[in-house]
Every structure is written in structure tokens, then in C-alpha cells.
Amino acid sequence: MSKIENLEIKVIDEIGRENISDLTQDYAEIGLDFFIDNEALKDIPVFGTFYKIYKTANNIKDQIFLKKLYAFLFHLKQIPQDKRIKFINTLDYSEKTKQETGQKLLLLIDKLDDFDKPKILSNLLKATIEEKIDYKQFLKLSNVVCNAYIGDLNEFHNNQVLSMDLKERLYNLGIFSLILKNIDSRGFPIQSRSWNFQGNENKKQINIDLDSTKIDSRNKANFNLAIDFEINSIGKALLNYGLKNGS
């Protein structure tokens, strides 16, 4: 078995280890040079295996990956060990499925383009371990995080009122749904309809001229069609579990 295959299995095994608490240095306080020839890192059981392999490359890409991996594992230590072990045991792994799951996890970590995102990924895995979301939801939400701009995620989390531009970007990520509203000439909504398709999952383009489209030209109220977006179940799960404070 290759070193990479060993890593894919190792990352799953190490999630359940008690030694994960040995990651005491807050990732936010360390720079990339922390991962260059740092002999102390190779002695940390949960992280040392990865460090020994990646340190030999000694390039910026691998140093970035090590810091993202470190940040991900750093936040996992907040989850009690018995819960982590129970989660691993319930997955009913063979070596092949363990390798495939570890591979997906490492690929997700590698795709993260901001050092604040590993914490979100850890939060989502914690929600999976605590059975608040299932593994398929974890993968779907993790891919949303990978594809999102971190500034949009922060604004989504911190603000009650979102701009239409932001809601459209969140719609394209699949965490908001499109709503078509009937409004009267004064701009007041009369009724609305939610559409199930979300973002890039539906390739139809909807082009509507809000000034000229009439629901019924014979109606004296001069009804028009307006577009809006609302958070869907995927977005609520991301907000409640991935973007939560703490942990």
C-alpha cells in the first residue's frame, strides 16, 4: 500500500485517538514557517504521520495543506473521544471504504481556500458525529464551503438582512431557493411561489423584465412578477452547524 493510501486510512483512524488533544498550539497564531523542519510536530501521533511525509516536499503548497489539516484536527479535539470512536465504529468500514472516506476528507481539506474554513469543516463533522446531520449531508455542505467565498459566508452568518446580490450568490451555491412573487403596483406582495431547483443544479436561465411583465394585463391592480430568494434546508443546516460560533 502506498504512503498516500496509508494517509487516507490514517486520517480516519486518528480522528478517534485520544492524542488529538496534543494539538495545543492555536493554528491562528502560527505561520507557514511553523511547518518547516519542526521536529516537535513529527512526535505528535495524530499529526506526525502527515508531517513526516509532507515536510520533505518543502514547498508553499504543502505547507498550506499542513496548516489547513492542523486547523481541522485542532477543532476536532473539542469533540469527546467516546463520540468520535462511536462515529467511526458505526460506519462499518472495510479497508476499502475507510480509504475512500479518508480520501474524500483529505480532498475536501485540500480544496479549502481560506484558513477559516477548516473550522467550518470540523463543525460539520462534529454535527455528523452527533447525528444532527448524516454523512451525505456532511459531504454536500462541505462542498458548499469549498466553493464559497469566505466573505459571503461571514456575511451570511453575521447579518439578518442580506443584499440581493449576496442572496443570488448563495442561491448559486445551492443554499438559497428562488421565489417568484406577485406584487401589486405599489410593490406589496400578494402571493409567492418557491421553486425547488437551487443554483447550478438547474441549468435553466430565468430572464424576467420586472418592469414590463404582467401577471394579468386586464387586472386593474397591475400585478407584476418579482424575484426573491429564501434560505433552504441546506442553508439552514450550514448556518446552524457549520457557521456556528465557538468550538
Percentage of the residues of the chain whose pLDDT score is greater than 70: 59
> pLDDT averaged over the chain?
75
The burial class, CB within 10 Å (0-12 / 13-18 / 19+), for 241 is buried
pTM of the model: 0.74
Distances (CA, A) of 63 to 37, 67, 129: 11, 6, 28
Gyration radius of the chain over CA positions: 23
pLDDT in tens, 44-60: 655 666 666 665 556 77
pLDDT of residue 109: 94
Nearest to 121 by CA among 55, 78, 76: 76
